[in-house]
Amino acid sequence: MTTIWRMHIKPETNGGYTRKDAWEYCLQHGVIGIGYGMDKDIGEPLPSEEYIPFAEEMYHDFPGWKNSMNAFVKQMKKDDLVWLEFAGRYYLAKITGDAQYNSNVPELDLFHTRACEIKEIGGLDVVPGGIQTRFIRGRTIHRVHSSILYDYSIAVYHGTPHQVEIQDILAYLSAYDLEDLVGLYLQYKLDYKIIPSTCKPTTKRIEYTLVRKGNQGQIETAAVQVKKGDVHLKASEYIDLPYDVIYLFAENENYEKNETDERVKFISKSDVINFVKEYKSFLPSKLIHWLG
């Protein structure tokens, strides 16, 4: 069965060469690659599997080496699909060859390569947020476990039609789109009003603040934190915030609650999806264009 991967092409180039040079090399030669070269001749070119024993002493304490070798050399197989990104454009590479070690382009730090067929998919508007998020951080190579993103990746690579189901829509939204959707949910369903000037990148624990009129006519304040991807939200990390209510939303619904402070409330995934169903015709096109 095909496995879907996300991979950074970010070699440690030298001699005046850049990441762009490494990327263009990959496109021109139909390969993807990683580093970890040797400072001695080991009889190359040779299969990367045979390189590993030579490199154990040099790299065994190097952060990321074992993970990269396991993923790129041992686990990745022919016909697997690998998501790549360069300069805001996204690509899928279909693996066609085994991992090979060669030091013919040491200046590009592409010592281990796999032959592949690289297909450009497009920009942010055609790449699911669940894929985009995986390029923000993380190890060089990462397996994409989502069945939703698996189906999309297979379809888009082969150019076959793919219908996005409304219950899967959150996987397709970017982190920013998800923040907007939760904000709209709080305004439509809970009668809040967002204070636009509070949407600042410097406020790391909240996305924005909101206000609404309380039952007694008083102003109630609220703040919201929205997280996409594989995260864990703990109520205890927000109870010190000076708001009447703090709303937390994680796409994976991985929460740690605090029963002693009722100010922290968790927004359910089902409530947000039901909101999309109910208000689809009123939502901005960038949030629902996936639904067709």
Considering its fold, how many domains does the chain have in total? 2
Show which of 111, 138, 162 is a domain's final residue.
Answer: 162
| Mean pLDDT value across residues 183-203 | 92
pLDDT of residue 214: 87
Q: Which residues of 120-156 are buried (b: 16+ CB within 10 A; e: fewer)?
A: ebeebeebbbbbbbbbeeeebbbebebebbbbbbeeb
Show which of 116, 139, 162 is a domain's final residue.
Answer: 162
233 and 128 in a single domain? The answer is: no
Indicate whether 42 pLDDT > 90.
no
84 and 174 in a single domain? The answer is: no
Say how far apart CA 213 and CA 269 lie, in whole Å.
Answer: 25
Indicate whether 189 pLDDT > 90.
yes
Residue 194 lies in domain: 170-291
Indicate whether 282 pLDDT > 80.
yes
2-18 pLDDT tens trace: 999 999 998 887 878 89
Indicate whether 202 pLDDT > 80.
no
233-272 pLDDT tens trace: 999 999 999 999 999 999 999 999 877 778 999 999 999 9
Average pLDDT, the chain: 92
Least confident of 28-32, 61-65, 167-171, 193-197: 61-65
* Percentage of the residues of the chain whose pLDDT score is greater than 70: 100
pLDDT of residue 48: 93
Indicate whether 228 pLDDT > 90.
yes
Least confident of 102-106, 119-123, 191-195, 251-255: 102-106
pLDDT of residue 121: 97
150 and 8 in a single domain? The answer is: yes
Show which of 162, 182, 200 is a domain's final residue.
Answer: 162
106 and 249 in a single domain? The answer is: no
144 and 175 in a single domain? The answer is: no
160-164 contacts at long range (C-beta below 8 A, 24 or more positions apart): 163/292, 164/290, 164/291, 164/292
Residue 212 contacts by C-beta under 8 Å, 6 or more apart in sequence? 190, 191, 192, 193, 219, 220, 222
254 and 231 in a single domain? The answer is: yes
pLDDT of residue 149: 96
| Mean pLDDT value across residues 64-87 | 95
136 and 51 in a single domain? The answer is: yes
145 and 235 in a single domain? The answer is: no
Indicate whether 150 pLDDT > 80.
yes
